[in-house]
Structure formats: C-alpha cells, structure tokens
Amino acid sequence: MTTITECRACGWAPLEPVLSLGNMPLANSLLDHVDAEEARYPLDLVRCSRCDLVQITETVPPEILFREYSYFSSYSDTFVEHARTFAARMREHVDLGSESLVVEAASNDGYLLQFFAEAGVPVLGVEPARNVAAAASARGIPTIAEFLDAELARALVVKRGRHADLVVANNVLAHVADLHGFVDGLRLLAGDGLVSVEVPYVCELVDRMEFDTIYHEHLCYFSLTSLSRLFAEHGLTVVDVERLAVHGGSLRVFARAGGARSHAVDAVLERETEWGVGDPLRYATFARSVDELRASIASFVGDLVASGNHVAGYGAAAKAVVLSNACGLDGSRVEYVVDRNPHKQGKLLPGVRIPVRPPGALLETRPGYVLLFVWNIAAEVIEQQREFIEGGGTFIVPIPQPRSASSAELRL
C-alpha cells in the first residue's frame, strides 16, 4: 500500500481533507470462513484544489484488488440492459460493421461486448481479472487478461495493424492508479476514433450522500471539470457528455482527438461551477452529513432488532461492505445478506462477517425487513422479490436517509 500526498491527476499538493471512514477492509474481498485474516486500510477522501479531482489517499496494489475478482456484471439485469441499449446506439452512431473494431477496457465477463459481437462487429476485451477474463473467453468474447496501459495499447495497435473505431471504458477509470498511463492507452487504441467513458458522478455522490460508493477500488471521484482537464493533457477533447442514472448517478463522456465541444459539455461545466465543484465548503457540509447519516442508519436498524424484528440484507456488493462496516452493522444486526452471484454465496462480508446466501433464503426464513444495500438497482430487486414482498416483507433503503419503502417507491 502507498499513500499519496500529491494529486493523482495534476501532481498538486497539499490535498484538502474531505472525509474519513476509518480503517476499512477491501470491499470485494469476501471471506471464505469466519476466522479468515483480513487486511484493513485507511479510507480517507481528499480533494485537489487545482484540478478539483476528489480522490482517496491510499493505493492498494492493483494485483491484489483485481487479479481475482468476485464481481460479474452479467448477474445484474439492469447493467446488461444498460449495455444492450448502449451497444445498439453505438452501432448506429459510429456506423460499426464487420470491418470495424470495438475495444473495451475492463470488459468484465463480456456483458457489453457480446452485443457488438452478436451483430457481427469484431471486438476485443482487456480485463485484468483472470477468472473474469476466462468467463468472457468461454462465452466467445476475445479477451486479454491484462491491465491496460500505453505499452499494451501500442502493442495491440501494432499487432492488429489498426486503431479501434470505438474504445469503451465503463466504470474503470475510477479504479486506476496510473491515470495518465491508462488515458494514454485509450488515446493510442482509438487513434482518431471515438472514446466512450462512464464514471460515477461526484456531484451525485455528494448530493445524495452516497458514502457507500467510497472504497479502496475507487481511487478517484470525477466531475466533468476534472475529467476534461485530464483528457486534455492527452490530446483528447470531450465532445459530448450525458448524465446517467446507473450507479447512483454517472457521467458518460465521449472524447476524441480533435473536434469541438458540444453545448452539453459547456452546460455541465457551467453547472458544476455553480454547484461548487471547487468550493471546499460544499465538501465540508457533505462530510458532516455523512457522519450524521451513518449514526442514523445504525440507530434505524438497531431499533428494529431491539424490537424483536429479524433483518437481512440484499446484495453482497462493495456498497454492502462499506455501509455495514461504516455503520457497525455486523451479524448481530443483519443476520445474512443474499446475492444472485454464486461466486459470492457461502462467503462472508469482510469486517462484519455477515454470511452470504442465495436469494431464496428470504422466502425460507421470511425476515421482516431487508436492508437494500444495492439501492442503485432497486427496481430490479423488486421484480426478483415480488413473492417476498407480497408475503409481507419490507425493504429498508439506507441512502440518502434510512426508511422503510414500498415496492411502488422503489420503482421510482
């Protein structure tokens, strides 16, 4: 582990403290047994006053975090549909066909590239998690089990004798310690082609107090302000931007070498300035609100248990690990958590040692309340758990304030 003292993007120092969540386990390192040893690392959020990038101070080596990975995108219907829609749009927008090439960095199990491949568009995935890359290859998606950087990108261009028409990097830039090497890799792969990047949006994180999306894999928390400055250093112009609902609020940024910014880009940049993307008071208020929210969640769940209620959880995601540890919700308060991903079932959430079971456990044990850790895919969960809800089960939504919610509310 290394601790940064300078901005990951622009090298500025000192960095302004924003929020500390204390020493936390790695969010995706589920445990095999209750006596398993685990490492804890400080989880401290800071901000660069020069380029406005929000980031954490600790860098856990990517070989530890990503070579074996328990997250498989295909287990979320929401994200698969999100990928299907994007692929269909890009095939038309970029005019992709059998002579084209789409490359995705951090391509996971091929959940996105499959939709290009099914349409006859050649694809290539670059996925550092060997187990996940193997799953993608098994479904017929050519995948290289490596981290993307400038050297690998250069080698791929030489080997294939061409640049990609579309390079996609969804929900990966925040994970990258070497921002410049990675963005250089995108630039080299794309040549004059289009780069599409999705990142969780720091303004949404602050406004909705999404502290559970802060964890050691997420090194950076981007605004369009910070992202456009980073891209510009590598000859990439942000030509368009969209705001998305996924992951609690994200930005989709389109960039290419050269080209003019759209009115949408200018509008978002102006809105961020008005919002206070460079104002330390905006982040100080956020930190105070998060401390209050953590106490409120702990009290809400604690009162339910003290009244004789049984509480389970839904989603053994990174969010669950952060929220449960930050709020002191161990197995005495949340009896178990369910997850569709069989790679997580039978394991334990790190830190709090809450067991992970298949979703059918909710119907078997009928807890009165289920803490919805994966609040970002609430509508999907409600569809899956219709029988549980109709039998009287109630979901608790923790963010931005803990509350019991009806299925109608969760569909919004």
CATH of the domain at 120: 3.40.50.150
Are 105 and 226 within one domain? yes
CATH number of the domain enclosing 339: 3.40.50.720
Are 305 and 195 within one domain? no
Percent of the chain with pLDDT over 70: 97
Residue 259 confidence (pLDDT): 83
Phi, psi of 87 (to 5 degrees): -60, -45
Instruction: Check whether 411 has a pLDDT greater than 60.
Output: no
Q: What is the dihedral of CA 233, 275, 376, 74, to 10 degrees?
A: -20
Q: What is the dihedral of CA 70, 75, 79, 83, to 10 degrees?
A: 100
Are 6 and 115 within one domain? no
Are 193 and 225 within one domain? yes
**Of residues 109 and 197, more confidently modeled:** 197
- Select from 11, 26, 57 the last residue of a domain: 57
User: Among 55-64, 89-98, 185-194, 401-410, whose mean pLDDT is lowest?
Assistant: 401-410
For the segment 163-206, what is each residue's pLDDT rounded down to a tens digit?
999 999 999 999 999 999 999 999 999 999 999 999 999 999 99
Are 99 and 41 within one domain? no
- Select from 208, 242, 257 the last residue of a domain: 257
**Of residues 214 and 390, more confidently modeled:** 214
**Rounded-to-integer distance, Cα 36 and Cα 45, Å:** 28
Is residue 23 in a domain? yes
Are 244 and 130 within one domain? yes
Residue 377 confidence (pLDDT): 86
328: tokens are: 């002191």
Is residue 267 in a domain? no
Are 107 and 162 within one domain? yes
Are 244 and 292 within one domain? no
Is residue 214 in a domain? yes
What DSSP character marks residue 177? S
Are 19 and 107 within one domain? no
Segment of 68-77, 245-254, 367-376 carrying the highest mean pLDDT: 367-376
Is residue 263 in a domain? no
Are 381 and 239 within one domain? no
Are 239 and 153 within one domain? yes
For the segment 284-297, what is each residue's pLDDT rounded down to a tens digit?
999 999 999 999 99
C-alpha radius of gyration, the chain, whole number: 21
Are 323 and 391 within one domain? yes
Within 10 angstroms of residue 212's Cβ, the number of other Cβ atoms is 31
Residue 61 confidence (pLDDT): 82
Q: How far is CA 130 from CA 62, 109, 126, 270, 402, in A?
A: 13, 10, 10, 42, 38
Is residue 64 in a domain? no
Each as own residue / partner, the long-range contacts of residues 77-81 (CB below 8 Å, 24 or more positions apart, any chain) are 77/380, 77/383, 78/246, 78/377, 78/379, 78/380, 79/111, 79/246, 79/377, 80/111
410 pLDDT tier (thresholds 50, 70, 90)? low
For the segment 202-250, what is each residue's pLDDT rounded down to a tens digit?
999 999 999 999 999 999 999 999 999 999 999 999 999 999 987 788 9
Q: What is the mean pLDDT of residues 349-372?
A: 96
Is residue 169 in a domain? yes
**Rounded-to-integer distance, Cα 263 and Cα 49, Å:** 26
pLDDT mean across residues, the chain: 93
- Select from 218, 240, 257 the last residue of a domain: 257
Is residue 227 in a domain? yes
Percent of the chain with pLDDT over 90: 83
Number of compact structural domains in the chain: 3
Task: Name the residue range of residue 35's domain.
Answer: 2-57
For the segment 43-69, what is each residue's pLDDT rounded down to a tens digit?
999 999 999 999 999 998 877 777 665
Is residue 277 in a domain? no
